[in-house]
Amino acid sequence: MELRSKLESTLTWAGLVSLIALWVPMTAVARLFDREPGLYRCGRFFRRLGRAMSKVNRAWRIRFEGTVLDNPRNPYVVVSNHLALADIPILSCVPWEMKWVAKKELLRTPLIGILMRLVGDITVRRGDRASGARALVAARQYLKQKVSVMFFPEGTRSPDGRLYAFNDGAFMLAIKTQVPVLPMVIDGSQYALPRGGWRFGTADVRVRVLAPVSTTGLKAKDTAALKEKVRGVMAQQLAAWRGVTRAHVDGLVQRTTEAHST
């Protein structure tokens, strides 16, 4: 069983690397013919790589549910929880383009960095406030061009599958541009590619697009309330899927409880 698992993961990685290598020249061609400032069609072509990658890995079963967007060119500030590296190709399967706000280190990933540059994804250096400010300016420009932007507001992957504190950036941006926030929730991907390992696991992954949260009329002072409202509905969805109370999926509640018990 151990040998079979290693062999299957090795073959899957070979297939994924081949797909990525194939996608680079095709995305470059798509970029040449995409005259839109927001590179919507080029980006949309790149995201199809996520669907192809998901199909290569037969150990993943992925279900999408929830809100269907009437017009994907109505821009949203999209936010999702973050459980594993597998989240990126899986969430790329949604049927609309969105520019991803990602850590700058990803640009150094062979081939992936090239693809991100070709489609105009946004990178940010963690802990660098100036870099974060530039990322928000770039995101605002994409929203003006009717292209959604995608954030992992926790800033990094959850260490234990629970939901942790959200950063303000995505919610400040949504209020400033008066663009709705579109929450997405993913679960099961933590087993698809376990943290710190290279072998793929069998995983039933669920993704739900929740109802958009309006920012109409909100001001900068409402950022914290908006952030907690969105985080609340996402936590509730995770809890419902797992059959537990919200407190069990809320990393901040658990952290407080553990601190009080010591």
Using alpha carbons, select from 20, 40, 135 the residue that is nearest to residue 89: 20
pLDDT of residue 128: 86
Per-residue pLDDT for 210 more than 60?
A: yes
- Residues facing residue 62 across a β-bridge: 205
* CATH number of domain containing 27: 3.40.1130
Confidence of residue 1 (pLDDT cuts 50, 70, 90): low
> Nearest to residue 150, comparing CAs of 75, 210, 216, 207?
75
Q: Which two tokens stand for residue 259?
A: 């601190």
Is the four-CA dihedral 138, 144, 145, 150 of positive or negative sign? positive
Count of Cβ atoms closer than 10 Å to residue 219 Cβ: 9
Residue 256 has pLDDT above 70, yes or no: no
Q: How many separate domains does the chain show? A: 1
> In this predicted structure, what is the pLDDT of residue 260?
47
Distance between CA 6 and CA 31 in Å, rounded? 37
Parent domain of 67: 2-261
Average pLDDT over all residues of the chain: 92
Q: How confident is the model at residue 243, as a pLDDT?
A: 97
Helix/strand/coil for 16: helix
CB-CB neighbours of 167 under 10 Å: 15
Give mean pLDDT, residues 5-29: 93
For residue 189, the SS3 value is helix
pLDDT at position 39 is 97
pLDDT of amino acid 261 = 52
CA distance linking residue 152 with residue 170, whole number of Å: 9
Q: What is the DSSP letter of 97?
A: -
pTM attached to this predicted model: 0.93
What is the structure's pLDDT at 223?
98
Instruction: Taking each helix axis as running N to C, give the angle between helix 169-177 and helix 223-242, from 0 to 180 degrees, rounded to the nearest 10.
Output: 120
The Cβ of residue 29 has, within 10 Å, a number of other Cβ atoms equal to 11
Residue 106 has pLDDT above 50, yes or no: yes
> Cβ-count burial of 261 within 10 angstroms (0-12 exposed, 13-18 middle, 19+ buried)?
exposed
Quote the CA–CA distance of 5 and 40 in Å, as a whole number.
Answer: 38
pLDDT at 66: 96
Farthest-apart Cα atoms in the chain, separation: 61
Rounded Cα distance between 257 and 255, Å, is 5
pLDDT band of residue 57 (cuts 50, 70, 90) is confident
Q: Find the helix packing angle between 112-119 and 2-33, rounded to 10°.
A: 30
Indicate if the pLDDT at residue 258 is higher than 90.
no
Q: Mean per-residue pLDDT for 22-37?
A: 96
pLDDT above 50 (res 3)? yes
